[in-house]
Amino acid sequence: MFNPFVYKRPNNLEQVFTLLDQNEDVKIIAGGTDLLVKLREADRSPELLVDIKDLEKLKGIKKNKNEIKIGALTTITEIKESKLIKDEFDALYQAASQFGCYEIRNRATIGGNVVHASPGAEFGVVLFALNAEVEVVGKRDVKRMPIKEFLYDVGSVKLNNELLKSIIIKNKPDLKSSYHRISRVKGMDLALVNAALVKDDKAQYTSYFGAVARTPYNNNKVDELLSQSNLNKALFVKIQKIVDESISPRATSLRASPEYKKKMVVSLLKKCLRDIGEIGDDIDG
Amino acid sequence: MAKTINTIINNEKHEIEVPYQMSLLELLREELNMTGTKEGCGNGECGACTVLLDDLPVRSCIILAHEIDQKEVVTIEGLKNTGDYEKIKEVFMAEDAVQCGFCTPGFVMAVKALLNRTKYPNDQDIKEALGGHLCRCTGYEAIHKAVKRLV
């Protein structure tokens, strides 16, 4: 048994906002794969859990003109099995494929993954690299903002009696993307370090790394070097130097030392580049 | 606090009063006496508590009993006397894919769900289906081989 709480599953947004207004100590539950694990370890539960799984408006993957909208309640399995996602955003497909295990993917939602804002979360780096936006729905209106603004610290997103409604990604032709991670075991483990790389239609690179800082980490200098240089061994020595000097992963991490993480950042970057066909096997690591 | 839920478990309707803070796993094992579903880690990591919820395999230890209100659940008990169950049992025996047996109900549910979604699973499909299940005795190879015999 969990520590006591009251559970409600409203089927429309109005009811959700009324419950949020009337209760101070309330948590939203969607897939529950993060929340219920946390509640099992906690000394007490919130007074009220509001299950939003029945909100149809927050579900599904849609294409509108030049953007793709992923409802916050879309499960990881639905993302992995979406042809639209696989065709347009390899990195999203790869992140969904490496997420948890099959049973967890059937339950976990992309919205839950984003709002929990764990430093090594699969979707954080991918959505930052794709410059995604989010839609936040409140009692009165729907706001749209960049995910970089929305997710601002470990476990912290800008929600104030509001819900994450959807994630929006602009799809450009010829966009290439890739996601890789290092974990102790394949599947069912969190990433020690993860990386997402996007090369846009103008051959500009954007790279983001997870679990090396409080939020997905980007270094402009690295992206500029990638976009403007020949991708050879010497370049990666240069990039390693920049990474070594600019990030300081916390030394108290249970999973990996700062030195190891710094090396893995560059290794994952190479893996992503290899994935999208920009470098070959002659560049090792 | 408790409230009544309406659910179908193994083809049987249940109207039952359940405390809000009870997990689906606890409902199955402690209220309905269906002890075939096992509790391993209690955190959704080991797969021993796998059941089908509206046809999809899920982890019953990290689902609330109230979440199955108006939904349908199938447990290992519900597979009894079905053709797939007999087939899965045979191949697991043939490959010695069971030793202590604690993880087995979870594996069997995962395999059943795999067969539900594809008649001819390839190696990758099998790995995906079994990937989140821990077995401390047999070492996976035997289980993988057993499932391959089904194809």
Q: What is residue A285's predicted lDDT score, i.e. its pLDDT?
A: 82
What's the CATH number for B79-149?
1.10.150.120
Most confident of A93-107, A183-197, A248-262: A93-107
- Rounded to whole angstroms, the Cα distance separating A61 from A84 reads 8
E strands, A127-282, in order? 133-137, 142-146, 151-153, 156-157, 163-170, 176-182, 193-199, 205-210
What is the mean pLDDT of the segment spanning A28-52?
97
Query: A1 and B1 in contact by Cβ < 8 A?
Result: no
Confidence band, pLDDT 50/70/90 cuts, at residue B6: very high
Residue A185 has pLDDT above 90, yes or no: no
- Provide the terminal-to-terminal Cα distance of chain B, rounded to the nearest Å: 48
In which residue ranges of chain B is CATH 1.10.150.120 found?
A: 79-149
Q: What is residue A190's predicted lDDT score, i.e. its pLDDT?
A: 82
Mean pLDDT of chain A: 96
Torsion of CA A50, A56, A59, A64, to 10 degrees: -140
Pair of tokens at residue A259? 């030195």
Pair of tokens at residue A6? 């009251």
Q: Give the pLDDT confidence of B100-121 residue by residue, as tens digits.
A: 999 999 999 999 999 999 999 9
Confidence band, pLDDT 50/70/90 cuts, at residue A284: confident
Residue B50 has pLDDT above 80, yes or no: yes
Phi-psi region of B4 (alpha: psi -120 to 50; beta: other; left: phi over 0): beta
Residue A162 has pLDDT above 80, yes or no: yes
Q: What is residue B18's predicted lDDT score, i.e. its pLDDT?
A: 98
Q: Give the pLDDT confidence of A241-265 residue by residue, as tens digits.
A: 999 999 999 888 778 899 999 999 9
Which CATH fold topology does B2-77 show? Ubiquitin-like (UB roll) (3.10.20)
Chain A residue set in contact with B, beta carbons under 8 Å:
1-7, 9, 32-33, 36-37, 40, 45, 49, 51, 53, 77, 100-104, 106-107, 186-188
Query: Taking CB atoms and an 8 Å cutoff, what residues of chain B touch A185?
Result: none
Q: What is residue A220's predicted lDDT score, i.e. its pLDDT?
A: 97
Residue A187 has pLDDT above 80, yes or no: no
Q: Are A211 and A183 in contact (CB under 8 A)?
A: no
What is the mean pLDDT of the segment spanning A69-91?
97
Percent of residues, chain B, with pLDDT higher than 90: 96
Q: Are B94 and B146 in contact (CB under 8 A)?
A: yes
Query: B21 and A3 in contact by Cβ < 8 A?
Result: yes
What is the mean pLDDT of the segment spanning A67-86?
97
Backbone angles phi, psi at A84, to 5 degrees: -55, -50
Residue A78 has pLDDT above 90, yes or no: yes
Disruptive mutation site among A9, A80, A103, A105 for chain B (greatest number of B CBs within 10 Å): A103
In which residue ranges of chain B is CATH 3.10.20.30 found?
A: 2-77
Q: How many CB pairs under 8 A join A and B?
A: 84
Disruptive mutation site among A1, A2, A3, A7 for chain B (greatest number of B CBs within 10 Å): A7
